[in-house]
């Protein structure tokens, strides 16, 4: 009954957070540190991603080398090199740099910048490859240098897509900065760990609410700015990437955008829309751009000043010496028979954890996405077409707000922090890790699925309701068939993410390969670390391949 009492104590403390002035001041300082880490890490990752995105794009090498053999060889080489830092989670990078830089803010910034820079490079390269190439080729054939041709043709067309994904990556950086606090980088994650260890649940919930407010503020601000600029939302980018291989596949976009065509037609349609949209929103858009620009000019240098990271450590002789020692101690890799058998057993545990986590997240996300959608249970919605009583309207709005608040809290708190809480009330193993991953991804999937429901083409549903079809049958035969394929695609996408994040919940003690990696890093056994990381990367690529094949079958 001990775990039941601990769970009850934790949930009871959610209504009694510590609001003392001293702890609120401490929470505010921790939130500022988390925000500063996210801003600094995002800035460096975007700089790296912009350069890497150009060199990882197929269109760049087509403009540089006329021979197709050279183009493809170099392009695939760059993609392969970027896949390695992208496959290693920022928490692992943080543990690695902690052994080199010590307890320095530079650890959190670099740990975010390296994997996120590789991720941004991949996404930016895909955006550039999907951008119409006719203007670029016209400039190239006119004798313009490739860099100048890209600057005047590709980047202006792809700017809004690049900007939208930059906002989304900043939102992710907030959560990553909180995770890195667990290893001693400071911020909200570090304070959450201290509150858990000291059994101060009231302080724990104060920090949870601060993380919730910080994530909510960033999500809201970026969504408003994207809308004012007319740039695509997260759903738009994900749908476009999901339908990139379709032949003229059509997807209905949100916020009143026209249909999105796969390939080059998508950008012609989007460009036509932007011409009219900018004319309507020019004054408000220009104002928001100006305010955002002023805010960035003030926030970015402030964050770099506030964290006071010693960037000279990146090229100091001590760092070079430590990196050399680590490289020498990593070779040759440790391939003894006992370790291989252990890796196989832990790989199966890691895979089982990811499957259980995505099952929790997928089922929970589907169930909560409908009450979280504006056009479902509210008066005039799909399942409530008539105006209800005041109490009915109040109930519908209350359910919507509570569901959305739960989804925001679930995704605002990173999976490793949920894992720490789950480990505190459960026994160590893959179950706490699966619950933590499932809860965090449930918040993400529930919000994305709610947006899919809100952007349904309602003409067929209105036709069903006009024929007197009951609301339950409208849901079964109208809503589910049109949303389920996209729901499954999102679940498969998040399964890939769950697979990558299993190692970080393992690092805090939830089992799998992550727990073994923690032991190897703490004992400086880098020859075994190389083998464990290689096994995890291979397992991640296998899951990515399976997910890709399954998504392709849904199209």
Domains and CATH numbers, the chain: 20-317 (1.10.3720.10), 332-554 (1.10.3720.10)
> Which of 132, 149, 171 has the alpha carbon at shortest distance from 35?
171
Average pLDDT over residues 82-111: 85
| Cis bond upstream, residue 332 (ω within 30) | yes
In the chain, DSSP finds a helix count (H) and a strand count (E) of 22, 2
pLDDT of residue 277: 41
pLDDT exceeds 70 at position 530: yes
Average pLDDT over residues 198-202: 84
pLDDT of residue 26: 92
Higher pLDDT, 107 or 289: 107
pLDDT exceeds 70 at position 205: yes
pLDDT exceeds 90 at position 37: yes
Find the distance separating the first CA and the last CA of the chain, reported in whole Å: 49
Cα(371)–Cα(360) distance, rounded to whole angstroms? 18
Instruction: Enter the tokens of residue 542.
Output: 């296998």
Higher pLDDT, 255 or 150: 150
Instruction: Enter the tokens of residue 496.
Output: 């890939």
Positive or negative, the CA dihedral 134, 135, 140, 143 is positive
pLDDT of residue 264: 32
Average pLDDT over residues 267-272: 36
Cα(47)–Cα(59) distance, rounded to whole angstroms? 20
pLDDT of residue 43: 92
pLDDT exceeds 70 at position 384: no
With contact defined as beta carbons under 8 Å apart, do 518 and 346 qualify? Answer: no
Instruction: Enter the tokens of residue 88.
Output: 């290693």
Q: H/E element holding 261?
A: strand 260-261
| Cis bond upstream, residue 301 (ω within 30) | no
Average pLDDT over residues 299-312: 87
pLDDT bucket at 260, cuts 50 / 70 / 90:
very low
Higher pLDDT, 175 or 477: 175
pLDDT of residue 291: 67
Cα(40)–Cα(34) distance, rounded to whole angstroms? 10
| Percentage, residues of the chain above pLDDT 90 | 9
Most confident region among 184-198, 221-235, 282-296, 380-394 by mean pLDDT: 184-198
pLDDT of residue 27: 92
Higher pLDDT, 359 or 5: 359
- Lowest-pLDDT range of 183-187, 242-246, 431-435: 242-246
pLDDT in tens, 482-524: 788 888 888 888 888 888 888 778 777 777 788 888 778 777 7
Positive or negative, the CA dihedral 217, 219, 224, 228 is positive
Cα(452)–Cα(442) distance, rounded to whole angstroms? 15
Cα(348)–Cα(505) distance, rounded to whole angstroms? 16
Higher pLDDT, 285 or 542: 542
Higher pLDDT, 230 or 374: 374
pLDDT of residue 193: 85
């Amino acid at each position: 009954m001990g775990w039941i009492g601990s769970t009850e104590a934790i949930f009871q403390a959610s209504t009694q957070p510590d609001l003392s002035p001293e702890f609120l001041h401490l929470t505010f300082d921790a939130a500022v540190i988390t925000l500063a880490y996210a801003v600094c890490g995002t800035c460096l990752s975007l700089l790296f991603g912009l350069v890497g995105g150009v060199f990882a794009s197929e269109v760049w090498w087509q403009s540089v080398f006329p021979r197709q053999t050279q183009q493809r060889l170099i392009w695939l080489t760059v993609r392969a090199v970027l896949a390695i830092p992208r496959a290693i989670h920022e928490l692992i990078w943080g543990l690695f740099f902690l052994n080199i830089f010590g307890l320095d803010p530079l650890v959190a910034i670099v740990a975010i910048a390296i994997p996120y820079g590789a991720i941004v490079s991949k996404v930016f390269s895909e955006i550039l490859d999907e951008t119409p190439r006719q203007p670029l080729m016209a400039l190239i054939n006119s004798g313009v240098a490739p860099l100048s041709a890209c600057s005047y043709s590709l980047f202006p067309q792809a700017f809004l897509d690049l900007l939208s994904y930059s906002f989304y990556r900043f939102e992710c950086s907030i959560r990553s900065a909180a995770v890195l606090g667990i290893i001693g980088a400071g911020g909200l994650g570090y304070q959450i760990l201290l509150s858990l260890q000291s059994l101060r649940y009231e302080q724990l919930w104060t920090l949870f609410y601060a993380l919730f407010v910080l994530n909510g503020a960033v999500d809201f601000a970026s969504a408003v700015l994207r809308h004012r600029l007319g740039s695509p939302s997260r759903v738009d980018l994900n749908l476009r990437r999901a339908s990139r291989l379709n032949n003229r596949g059509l997807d209905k976009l949100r916020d009143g955008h026209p249909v999105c065509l796969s390939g080059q037609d998508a950008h012609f349609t989007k460009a036509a829309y932007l011409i009219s949209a900018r004319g309507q929103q020019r004054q408000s858009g220009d104002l928001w751009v100006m305010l955002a620009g002023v805010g960035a000019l003030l926030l970015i240098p402030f964050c770099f000043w506030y964290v006071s990271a010693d960037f000279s450590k990146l090229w100091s002789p001590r760092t070079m010496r430590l990196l050399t020692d680590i490289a020498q101690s990593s070779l040759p890799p440790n391939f003894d028979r006992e370790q291989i058998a252990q890796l196989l057993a832990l790989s199966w545990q890691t895979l089982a954890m990811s499957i259980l986590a995505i099952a929790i997240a997928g089922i929970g996300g589907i169930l909560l996405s409908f009450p979280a959608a504006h056009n479902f249970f509210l008066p005039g919605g799909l399942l409530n077409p008539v105006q209800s009583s005041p109490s009915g309207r109040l109930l519908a709005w209350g359910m919507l707000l509570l569901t959305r608040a739960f989804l925001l809290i679930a995704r605002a708190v990173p999976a490793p922090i949920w894992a720490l809480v789950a480990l505190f009330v459960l026994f160590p193993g893959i179950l706490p890790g699966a619950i933590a991953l499932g809860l965090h991804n449930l918040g993400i999937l529930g919000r994305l699925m709610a947006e899919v429901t809100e952007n349904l083409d309602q003409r067929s549903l209105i036709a069903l309701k006009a024929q007197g079809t009951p609301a339950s049958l409208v849901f079964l035969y109208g809503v589910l068939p049109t949303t389920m394929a996209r729901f499954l695609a999102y679940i498969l996408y998040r399964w890939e993410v769950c697979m990558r994040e299993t190692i970080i919940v393992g690092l805090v003690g939830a089992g799998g390969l992550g727990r073994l990696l923690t032991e190897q890093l703490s004992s400086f056994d880098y020859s075994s670390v190389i083998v464990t990381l290689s096994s995890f990367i291979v397992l991640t690529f296998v899951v990515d391949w399976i997910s890709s094949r399954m998504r392709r079958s849904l199209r």
